[in-house]
Amino acid sequence: MRVIYNEQMADLASLLGEMAGLAGSAMDRATQALLQADLAAAESVIGEYDRIEDMIADAEERAFALLALQAPVAGDLRQVVSAIQIVQDVNRMVALALHVAKVARRRHPNHALPEAVNGYFAEMGRIAVHMGEGAREVLENRDPERAAQLNEDDEAMDDLHRHLFTLLMDREWKHGVAAAVDVTLLGRYYERFADHAVEIGRRVIFLVTGVLPPDPDSEA
């Protein structure tokens, strides 16, 4: 039974890592759609969503089956509960990439963003993709040091988000209310994507060490 449990947990960890990688890839293409008014890129993200959702449902089912059938305790229970929570974080990351793609599609053939903020979103997209890849790495390797680095990446994302908000509040903003609403929502999508990657890192640290790091948002 122990061998079976270990194999099932390894398979689940691999699936979670694959899904985190797909979330990063989806945000990469969604950002391309946003910055280049690329309808094909937006549609590829939207079209892939159902497949990833099926993978998420499969991962959740596997985790609950382990909880119900293996009756884990102590460290094993920590692994299973953390896996269930990580599934939800990956789910939100995928959904946030989908939201970005839908904004790009809705504004097509026009660009969703004023040119003045393109640089912000190019960098926020780069950080988000990097964090998605980082989440994949820590899920597969369970490296607590790499997991902790996700919080540093998130600080860069938060800085960009604050600067973006300052720009929106500037009296020099001349791009209208609709553009301001889109920029506000999109900025929030990227910020939340990064937050969920950080949460995955916290869960992996908890898996390895048994100690859950403080929530950085609660300390702010």
Residue 164 has pLDDT above 70, yes or no: yes
User: What is the pLDDT at residue 72?
Assistant: 66
Query: pLDDT tens digits, residue range 91-140?
Result: 999 999 999 999 999 999 999 899 989 999 999 999 999 999 999 999 99
**Has residue 83 been placed in a domain?**
yes
CATH at residue 83: 1.20.58.220
**Has residue 207 been placed in a domain?**
yes
The pTM is what?
0.91
Which residues, at least 6 apart from 197, have a Cβ–Cβ distance to it below 8 Å?
20, 89, 93, 128, 131, 132, 134, 135, 150, 153, 154
User: What is the pLDDT at residue 10?
Assistant: 87
Domain enclosing residue 113, as ranges: 2-212
Q: Where are the beta strands (DSSP E) in 39-152?
A: none
Q: How many domains does the chain have?
A: 1
Whose tokens are 């990064």? That residue is 194
